[in-house]
Amino acid sequence: MNVLRGLILAGCAAMFANLPMAAGMPAPQSATAVFAGGCFWCMEADFEKLDGVIAVESGYTGGSVHNPTYEQVSQGGTGHAEAVRVRYDPQRVSYEKLLDYFWRHIDPTVKDRQFCDAGSQYRSAIFYQNDTEQKLALSSKQVLEKSGRFPHIYTEIVAAGTFYPAEDYHQDYYRKNPIRYKFYRVNCGREARIKSLWSDTQ
* Residue partners of 50: CB distance under 8 A and separation at least 6: 88, 93, 97, 98, 101
Domains identified in the chain, total number = 1
39 noted as active-site residue? yes
* Residue partners of 173: CB distance under 8 A and separation at least 6: 41, 44, 58, 181
Residue burial 65-84, b: 16+ Cβ < 10 Å; e: rest: eeebebebbbeeebbbbbbb
Catalytic pick among 39, 42, 116, 188: 39
* pLDDT tens for each residue of the chain, 202 residues long: 565 665 555 445 444 444 444 445 554 589 999 999 999 999 999 999 999 999 999 999 999 999 999 999 999 989 999 999 999 999 999 999 999 999 999 999 999 999 999 999 999 999 999 999 999 999 999 999 999 999 999 999 999 999 999 999 999 999 999 999 999 999 999 999 999 999 875 4
* Alpha carbon distance 171, 159 (integer Å): 24
> Residue 6 falls within a domain, yes or no?
no
> Residue 2 falls within a domain, yes or no?
no
pLDDT value at residue 22: 45
Give the CATH number, domain containing residue 34.
3.30.1060.10
* Alpha carbon distance 68, 164 (integer Å): 7
Q: Domain limits at 140?
A: 29-198
> Residue 139 falls within a domain, yes or no?
yes
pTM equals 0.85
* Alpha carbon distance 46, 78 (integer Å): 26
pLDDT value at residue 14: 44
> Residue 169 falls within a domain, yes or no?
yes
